[in-house]
Amino acid sequence: MGLEELINTLRKNEQNQIEDIWQAAKNEAESLRKQISEAIADITRNHAEQLKSACQKSMRTIFSDVNSKTRREKLLTYKSLDQALQAAALKQLSSLRKQNYDSVFAKLVGELPERKWEKIFVNPADLKMAVKFFTADIIKPDSSICGGLIAITAENKIIVDNTFKKRLERKWFQILPAIIVKIEKQYGESGPA
């Protein structure tokens, strides 16, 4: 082997080594690109999941706050509605006197327990009717009573308030929900309470 052949062989080996090194560098670069791409995809996926989770948590908090505020507003509305309806109902109590009131008054008297009543309070317009059931000396007019009567025993030991107003107060917790159901059917519900 001559010098020139040796130089050619060395060049050829050098060229092969350069190509091998270059190919190894390309392979390593491709492997690194693939690893980086997978790492970026993992980071992106993790960030997307974290962002999704954070968004869902924020949405739950917002919906919870909205539901809480809606319930609070609905309760305040019901309270205002309760007050307005009760005031309207109280105004209408006197209209109950227009329909068969003599009979109604007699039933209210009949509901009183057997006692020696010392005072009977009635609307001034009911004084003549009350005399049919009680002695005149114990009957007292009270213009705040729109219908019915209040009976009191000696020393105020027993007081029976059988007025329209008191009867409405006793039944109001049953009346109001029925009215609200009708109103909600008519106007539609505005969400959960």
Determine, yes or no, domain membership for 122.
yes
Residue 115 lies in a domain: yes
d(CA 176, CA 184): 12
* pLDDT at residue 43, as a whole number: 87
Mean pLDDT, rounded, for 32-51 = 87
Closest listed residue to residue 126, CA positions, set 107, 110, 140: 140
**Residue 186 covered by a domain:** no
Quick one: 180 exposed, middle or buried, by C-beta within 10 A (0-12, 13-18, 19+)?
Answer: middle
**Per-residue confidence (pLDDT) for residue 99, from 0 to 100:** 87
Q: Provide the whole-model pTM.
A: 0.63
To the nearest whole percent, how much of the chain has pLDDT over 70?
96
Cβ-Cβ contacts under 8 Å for 82 (sequence gap 6 or more):
176
- The pLDDT mean for the chain works out to 88
Q: Provide the residue type at 35 as one letter.
A: Q
Q: How many domains does the chain contain in total? A: 1
- Give the model's pLDDT for residue 126: 96
In a domain, 114, yes or no: yes
Of 37-46, 79-88, 119-128, which has the strongest mean pLDDT? 119-128
Which residue from 133, 134, 139, 125 is spatially nearest to 96, judged by alpha carbons?
125
Token readout for 7 is 């130089």
Q: Is the pLDDT of residue 191 over 70?
A: no
Q: For residues 67 and 3, which has the higher predicted lDDT (pLDDT)?
A: 67
* Within-domain flag for 145: yes
Report the distance separating Cα 122 and Cα 115, nearest Å.
18
The β-bridge relationship of strands 117-122 and 139-141 is: parallel
Across the range 132-150, mean pLDDT stands at 95
pLDDT digits (tens, 9 = 90+) for 109-128: 999 999 899 999 999 999 99
The tokens for 172 are 């109001």
The dihedral through the CA atoms of 117, 118, 123, 125 has a sign that is positive
Domain membership flag for residue 110: yes
CA angle 59, 62, 68 (to 5 degrees): 140
- 171 within some domain: no
Domain annotation covers residue 192: no
Q: Which domain holds residue 114?
A: 98-162
Q: Which residue has the higher pLDDT, 71 or 190?
A: 71
